[in-house]
Amino acid sequence: MYSLLIKPILFSLDAEYSHDLTLSNLNRIPSIFFPKTIHAPYECMGLNFPNRVGLAAGLDKNGAYIDALAKLGFGFIEIGTITPRPQAGNPKPRLFRIPSKKVIINRMGFNNEGVDALISNVKRAKFDGVLGINIGKNKETPLDKAADDYIFCMNKVYTHASYITINISSPNTPDLRKLQQADYLHNFIAEIKDQHLRLADKHKAYKPLVVKMSPDESEETMQAIAESLLKNNIDGLIATNTTCSRQGLTDEHNKDEAGGMSGELLASKSSTVIRMMHEFLDDKIPIIGVGGIVDVDYAKQKIDAGAKLVQIYSGLIYQGPSLVTKIASALS
Protein backbone atom coordinates (compact mmCIF):
# COMPACT_ATOMS: atom_id res chain seq x y z
CA MET A 1 0.00 0.00 0.00
CA TYR A 2 2.84 2.40 0.91
CA SER A 3 4.69 2.05 -2.42
CA LEU A 4 1.58 2.08 -4.57
CA LEU A 5 -0.55 4.71 -2.90
CA ILE A 6 1.10 6.75 -0.19
CA LYS A 7 4.68 7.17 -1.44
CA PRO A 8 3.75 8.67 -4.86
CA ILE A 9 1.71 11.35 -3.11
CA LEU A 10 4.34 12.11 -0.48
CA PHE A 11 7.15 12.16 -3.05
CA SER A 12 5.23 14.65 -5.19
CA LEU A 13 5.44 17.17 -2.32
CA ASP A 14 8.36 19.15 -0.94
CA ALA A 15 10.50 16.74 1.14
CA GLU A 16 10.30 18.57 4.48
CA TYR A 17 6.62 19.39 4.06
CA SER A 18 5.72 15.75 3.35
CA HIS A 19 7.85 14.62 6.28
CA ASP A 20 5.94 16.94 8.66
CA LEU A 21 2.61 16.00 7.09
CA THR A 22 3.27 12.27 7.57
CA LEU A 23 4.32 12.64 11.19
CA SER A 24 1.39 14.83 12.12
CA ASN A 25 -1.09 12.41 10.54
CA LEU A 26 0.44 9.16 11.81
CA ASN A 27 -1.50 9.45 15.05
CA ARG A 28 -4.83 9.53 13.21
CA ILE A 29 -4.28 6.09 11.65
CA PRO A 30 -5.82 3.41 13.88
CA SER A 31 -3.41 0.82 15.30
CA ILE A 32 -5.19 -2.04 13.45
CA PHE A 33 -3.63 -0.79 10.20
CA PHE A 34 -0.15 -1.46 11.55
CA PRO A 35 1.47 -4.88 11.93
CA LYS A 36 2.05 -6.20 15.46
CA THR A 37 5.46 -5.47 16.97
CA ILE A 38 7.75 -8.44 16.39
CA HIS A 39 8.61 -9.97 19.72
CA ALA A 40 12.23 -11.07 19.52
CA PRO A 41 13.66 -10.01 22.89
CA TYR A 42 17.28 -8.92 22.94
CA GLU A 43 19.36 -7.70 25.84
CA CYS A 44 22.00 -5.04 25.26
CA MET A 45 23.62 -2.34 27.45
CA GLY A 46 21.57 -3.74 30.34
CA LEU A 47 18.31 -2.85 28.53
CA ASN A 48 15.67 -5.24 27.26
CA PHE A 49 14.73 -4.58 23.63
CA PRO A 50 11.54 -6.20 22.25
CA ASN A 51 13.39 -6.50 18.92
CA ARG A 52 16.64 -5.25 17.41
CA VAL A 53 15.30 -2.55 15.04
CA GLY A 54 15.26 1.05 16.19
CA LEU A 55 14.27 4.41 14.79
CA ALA A 56 17.38 6.55 14.17
CA ALA A 57 17.62 10.08 15.55
CA GLY A 58 16.47 13.08 13.56
CA LEU A 59 13.01 12.01 12.43
CA ASP A 60 11.35 13.05 15.69
CA LYS A 61 13.69 15.77 16.94
CA ASN A 62 11.38 17.06 19.67
CA GLY A 63 9.86 13.76 20.78
CA ALA A 64 6.47 15.03 19.60
CA TYR A 65 5.42 11.81 17.84
CA ILE A 66 6.67 9.04 20.11
CA ASP A 67 3.35 7.18 20.50
CA ALA A 68 2.59 7.41 16.78
CA LEU A 69 6.03 6.09 15.84
CA ALA A 70 5.74 3.29 18.40
CA LYS A 71 2.85 1.87 16.34
CA LEU A 72 5.35 1.04 13.57
CA GLY A 73 6.79 -1.82 15.65
CA PHE A 74 10.21 -0.46 16.55
CA GLY A 75 12.18 -2.25 19.26
CA PHE A 76 13.43 1.18 20.35
CA ILE A 77 12.98 4.81 19.42
CA GLU A 78 15.64 7.51 19.48
CA ILE A 79 14.45 11.11 19.63
CA GLY A 80 16.51 14.31 19.15
CA THR A 81 18.98 15.72 18.44
CA ILE A 82 17.93 18.23 21.03
CA THR A 83 19.97 21.27 22.16
CA PRO A 84 19.78 23.34 25.36
CA ARG A 85 17.96 26.23 23.69
CA PRO A 86 15.51 26.14 20.76
CA GLN A 87 17.05 26.89 17.37
CA ALA A 88 15.65 27.31 13.88
CA GLY A 89 18.26 25.31 11.97
CA ASN A 90 19.38 26.19 8.45
CA PRO A 91 17.16 28.08 5.98
CA LYS A 92 14.78 25.98 3.88
CA PRO A 93 14.99 24.11 1.57
CA ARG A 94 17.34 21.88 3.57
CA LEU A 95 16.05 18.35 2.88
CA PHE A 96 16.41 16.71 -0.54
CA ARG A 97 15.56 13.28 -1.91
CA ILE A 98 17.30 11.42 -4.71
CA PRO A 99 14.84 8.56 -5.29
CA SER A 100 16.78 6.86 -8.10
CA LYS A 101 19.55 6.13 -5.56
CA LYS A 102 17.36 5.81 -2.43
CA VAL A 103 19.32 8.67 -0.94
CA ILE A 104 18.50 11.72 1.19
CA ILE A 105 20.69 14.81 1.56
CA ASN A 106 19.92 16.98 4.57
CA ARG A 107 21.36 20.09 6.14
CA MET A 108 18.68 20.61 8.78
CA GLY A 109 21.20 21.98 11.31
CA PHE A 110 19.66 20.72 14.57
CA ASN A 111 16.34 22.55 14.14
CA ASN A 112 14.57 21.83 17.43
CA GLU A 113 12.42 23.35 20.15
CA GLY A 114 14.95 22.96 22.94
CA VAL A 115 15.35 20.40 25.69
CA ASP A 116 12.47 21.64 27.89
CA ALA A 117 9.95 21.21 25.07
CA LEU A 118 11.24 17.67 24.43
CA ILE A 119 10.83 16.76 28.09
CA SER A 120 7.21 18.00 28.12
CA ASN A 121 6.54 15.81 25.08
CA VAL A 122 8.19 12.76 26.64
CA LYS A 123 6.16 13.24 29.82
CA ARG A 124 2.96 13.32 27.79
CA ALA A 125 3.80 10.18 25.78
CA LYS A 126 2.39 6.82 26.87
CA PHE A 127 5.25 4.82 25.28
CA ASP A 128 6.96 2.61 27.86
CA GLY A 129 9.55 0.94 25.60
CA VAL A 130 13.23 1.73 25.13
CA LEU A 131 13.62 5.47 24.46
CA GLY A 132 16.96 6.95 23.48
CA ILE A 133 17.43 10.71 23.78
CA ASN A 134 20.06 12.17 21.46
CA ILE A 135 21.68 15.42 22.62
CA GLY A 136 23.82 18.07 20.95
CA LYS A 137 25.08 21.61 21.26
CA ASN A 138 23.60 24.90 20.08
CA LYS A 139 25.20 26.30 16.94
CA GLU A 140 26.67 29.38 18.60
CA THR A 141 28.26 27.50 21.52
CA PRO A 142 32.04 27.44 20.95
CA LEU A 143 33.72 24.04 20.84
CA ASP A 144 35.69 24.60 24.03
CA LYS A 145 32.34 25.11 25.84
CA ALA A 146 30.54 22.28 24.00
CA ALA A 147 30.66 19.91 26.98
CA ASP A 148 28.57 22.43 28.97
CA ASP A 149 25.73 22.13 26.44
CA TYR A 150 25.83 18.32 26.48
CA ILE A 151 25.94 18.27 30.28
CA PHE A 152 23.05 20.74 30.47
CA CYS A 153 20.92 18.47 28.25
CA MET A 154 22.05 15.27 29.96
CA ASN A 155 21.09 16.65 33.39
CA LYS A 156 17.63 17.48 32.05
CA VAL A 157 16.88 14.28 30.11
CA TYR A 158 18.54 11.79 32.44
CA THR A 159 15.47 10.51 34.25
CA HIS A 160 13.37 10.48 31.07
CA ALA A 161 15.66 8.40 28.85
CA SER A 162 16.42 4.69 28.64
CA TYR A 163 19.79 5.66 27.15
CA ILE A 164 21.43 8.95 26.17
CA THR A 165 23.27 9.56 22.89
CA ILE A 166 26.09 12.10 22.60
CA ASN A 167 25.91 13.27 19.00
CA ILE A 168 29.27 14.67 17.87
CA SER A 169 28.92 13.64 14.25
CA SER A 170 26.37 15.84 12.48
CA PRO A 171 27.99 17.50 9.44
CA ASN A 172 25.49 20.38 9.65
CA THR A 173 26.68 22.14 12.82
CA PRO A 174 29.93 23.95 11.98
CA ASP A 175 33.00 22.23 13.48
CA LEU A 176 30.92 19.73 15.52
CA ARG A 177 32.84 16.79 14.07
CA LYS A 178 36.09 18.24 15.47
CA LEU A 179 34.89 16.89 18.84
CA GLN A 180 35.70 13.43 17.46
CA GLN A 181 39.38 14.33 17.04
CA ALA A 182 41.79 13.19 19.73
CA ASP A 183 42.72 16.77 20.83
CA TYR A 184 39.11 17.47 21.89
CA LEU A 185 37.66 14.02 22.36
CA HIS A 186 39.49 12.63 25.39
CA ASN A 187 38.76 15.58 27.70
CA PHE A 188 35.28 16.05 26.30
CA ILE A 189 34.22 12.42 26.86
CA ALA A 190 35.89 12.30 30.27
CA GLU A 191 34.02 15.43 31.39
CA ILE A 192 30.67 14.07 30.24
CA LYS A 193 31.28 10.64 31.73
CA ASP A 194 32.18 12.21 35.04
CA GLN A 195 28.82 13.98 35.21
CA HIS A 196 27.08 10.84 33.93
CA LEU A 197 28.35 8.88 36.92
CA ARG A 198 27.23 11.66 39.26
CA LEU A 199 23.73 11.50 37.78
CA ALA A 200 23.61 7.71 38.09
CA ASP A 201 24.51 8.08 41.74
CA LYS A 202 22.11 10.96 42.40
CA HIS A 203 19.14 9.20 40.79
CA LYS A 204 20.16 5.68 41.88
CA ALA A 205 19.59 4.59 38.28
CA TYR A 206 22.17 3.83 35.59
CA LYS A 207 21.23 5.03 32.09
CA PRO A 208 23.62 3.84 29.35
CA LEU A 209 25.68 6.54 27.63
CA VAL A 210 26.22 6.12 23.90
CA VAL A 211 28.34 8.09 21.38
CA LYS A 212 27.29 8.60 17.75
CA MET A 213 30.12 8.85 15.21
CA SER A 214 30.50 9.91 11.60
CA PRO A 215 31.45 7.60 8.71
CA ASP A 216 34.03 10.07 7.36
CA GLU A 217 36.87 9.68 9.87
CA SER A 218 40.43 8.49 9.27
CA GLU A 219 41.62 5.19 10.73
CA GLU A 220 43.67 7.19 13.25
CA THR A 221 40.57 9.07 14.45
CA MET A 222 38.57 5.86 14.62
CA GLN A 223 41.26 4.38 16.83
CA ALA A 224 41.22 7.49 19.04
CA ILE A 225 37.43 7.22 19.38
CA ALA A 226 37.68 3.54 20.35
CA GLU A 227 40.39 4.32 22.91
CA SER A 228 38.32 7.09 24.47
CA LEU A 229 35.16 4.99 24.64
CA LEU A 230 37.01 2.11 26.29
CA LYS A 231 38.92 4.32 28.71
CA ASN A 232 35.74 6.08 29.85
CA ASN A 233 33.51 2.99 30.03
CA ILE A 234 31.06 4.31 27.46
CA ASP A 235 28.18 1.87 27.07
CA GLY A 236 27.57 1.91 23.33
CA LEU A 237 28.54 3.31 19.95
CA ILE A 238 26.15 4.35 17.18
CA ALA A 239 27.82 4.01 13.77
CA THR A 240 27.11 6.00 11.72
CA ASN A 241 25.68 9.43 11.07
CA THR A 242 25.33 10.78 7.49
CA THR A 243 28.32 11.19 5.14
CA CYS A 244 29.78 14.23 3.39
CA SER A 245 30.81 11.97 0.51
CA ARG A 246 28.79 11.93 -2.71
CA GLN A 247 30.31 8.67 -3.94
CA GLY A 248 27.83 6.79 -6.09
CA LEU A 249 26.05 9.91 -7.29
CA THR A 250 26.70 11.06 -10.85
CA ASP A 251 24.44 13.66 -12.41
CA GLU A 252 21.30 13.37 -10.28
CA HIS A 253 19.22 16.44 -9.50
CA ASN A 254 20.10 17.72 -5.98
CA LYS A 255 23.41 15.85 -5.84
CA ASP A 256 25.38 19.06 -5.23
CA GLU A 257 23.24 20.22 -2.32
CA ALA A 258 25.32 20.74 0.82
CA GLY A 259 24.67 18.46 3.80
CA GLY A 260 24.93 14.88 4.96
CA MET A 261 23.96 12.01 2.68
CA SER A 262 22.01 9.03 4.03
CA GLY A 263 20.31 6.05 2.41
CA GLU A 264 21.49 3.17 0.28
CA LEU A 265 24.74 4.80 -0.90
CA LEU A 266 25.88 5.12 2.73
CA ALA A 267 25.44 1.42 3.46
CA SER A 268 28.82 0.00 2.64
CA LYS A 269 30.74 2.98 4.06
CA SER A 270 28.96 2.71 7.40
CA SER A 271 29.38 -1.09 7.47
CA THR A 272 33.12 -0.68 6.93
CA VAL A 273 33.25 1.73 9.88
CA ILE A 274 31.26 -0.74 12.01
CA ARG A 275 33.65 -3.57 11.08
CA MET A 276 36.72 -1.49 11.97
CA MET A 277 35.25 -0.10 15.20
CA HIS A 278 34.18 -3.60 16.22
CA GLU A 279 37.81 -4.65 15.87
CA PHE A 280 39.24 -1.57 17.65
CA LEU A 281 36.73 -2.00 20.47
CA ASP A 282 37.53 -5.70 20.69
CA ASP A 283 33.80 -6.42 20.97
CA LYS A 284 33.81 -4.82 24.45
CA ILE A 285 31.30 -2.06 23.61
CA PRO A 286 28.10 -2.86 21.68
CA ILE A 287 27.60 -1.12 18.34
CA ILE A 288 24.25 0.10 17.01
CA GLY A 289 24.57 -0.10 13.22
CA VAL A 290 22.89 2.56 11.10
CA GLY A 291 23.35 3.82 7.57
CA GLY A 292 21.69 2.76 4.37
CA ILE A 293 19.52 -0.05 5.68
CA VAL A 294 16.87 -0.06 2.98
CA ASP A 295 16.19 -3.81 3.05
CA VAL A 296 16.74 -6.92 5.15
CA ASP A 297 20.10 -7.78 3.55
CA TYR A 298 21.60 -4.45 4.51
CA ALA A 299 20.48 -4.99 8.11
CA LYS A 300 22.16 -8.42 8.09
CA GLN A 301 25.29 -6.78 6.68
CA LYS A 302 25.42 -4.52 9.75
CA ILE A 303 25.05 -7.49 12.11
CA ASP A 304 27.75 -9.40 10.18
CA ALA A 305 30.02 -6.35 10.55
CA GLY A 306 29.62 -6.54 14.34
CA ALA A 307 26.51 -4.50 15.19
CA LYS A 308 24.22 -5.80 17.93
CA LEU A 309 21.25 -3.56 17.12
CA VAL A 310 20.28 -1.57 14.03
CA GLN A 311 18.49 1.71 13.35
CA ILE A 312 16.78 3.01 10.24
CA TYR A 313 15.74 6.40 8.90
CA SER A 314 16.00 6.76 5.09
CA GLY A 315 14.80 3.17 4.58
CA LEU A 316 11.55 4.11 6.27
CA ILE A 317 11.04 6.96 3.80
CA TYR A 318 11.83 4.84 0.73
CA GLN A 319 10.34 1.47 1.71
CA GLY A 320 7.62 2.45 4.15
CA PRO A 321 6.80 1.25 7.64
CA SER A 322 6.62 -2.47 6.72
CA LEU A 323 10.44 -2.43 6.62
CA VAL A 324 10.53 -2.35 10.43
CA THR A 325 8.76 -5.67 10.98
CA LYS A 326 10.50 -7.29 7.99
CA ILE A 327 13.92 -6.56 9.47
CA ALA A 328 12.82 -7.35 13.03
CA SER A 329 11.64 -10.83 12.00
CA ALA A 330 14.71 -11.46 9.84
CA LEU A 331 16.97 -10.66 12.81
CA SER A 332 14.91 -12.59 15.34
Ligand X SMILES: Cc1cc2nc3c(=O)[nH]c(=O)nc-3n(C[C@H](O)[C@H](O)[C@H](O)COP(=O)(O)O)c2cc1C
Site string for ligand X, 48-67 (x = CB under 6 A): --------xxx--x------
- Per CB under 6 A, does 305 bind ligand X? no
Angle formed by the axes of helices 115-124 and 146-157, to 10°? 20
Assess 68 for contact with ligand X (CB under 6 A): no
Q: Write the DSSP assignment of 252-290 as a string of letters.
A: -TTTT-SSEEEEGGGHHHHHHHHHHHHHHTTT-S-EEEE
Least separation, in Å, of the C-beta of 167 and ligand X? 4
Site string for ligand X, 194-233 (x = CB under 6 A): ------------------x---------------------
Please tell me the distance from the alpha carbon of residue 192 to that of residue 200, in angstroms, as a whole number: 12
Closest CA to 28 of 71, 63, 61: 71
Could you say whether residue 109 binds ligand X (CB under 6 A)? no
Catalytic residue among 18, 162, 169, 170: 170
Tell how far CA 189 is from the center of its chain: 19
Angle in degrees, CA 184, 185, 188, rounded to 5: 85
Q: For the chain, report the end-to-end CA distance as a whole number of angstroms.
A: 25
Q: Does 106 bind ligand X (CB under 6 A)?
A: yes
Rounded to a whole number of angstroms, the minimum distance from the CB of residue 96 to ligand X is 9
Per-residue binding letters, 117-136, with ligand X (x by CB under 6 A):
-----------------x--
The residue within the footprint of ligand X, chosen from 314, 324, 327, 331 (CB under 6 A), is 314
Q: Which is nearer to ligand X, 76 or 313 (CB)?
A: 313
Residue from the set 44, 47, 108, 273 that interacts with ligand X by CB under 6 A = 108
Element (H, E) at 72: none
**Active site residue ranges:** 170
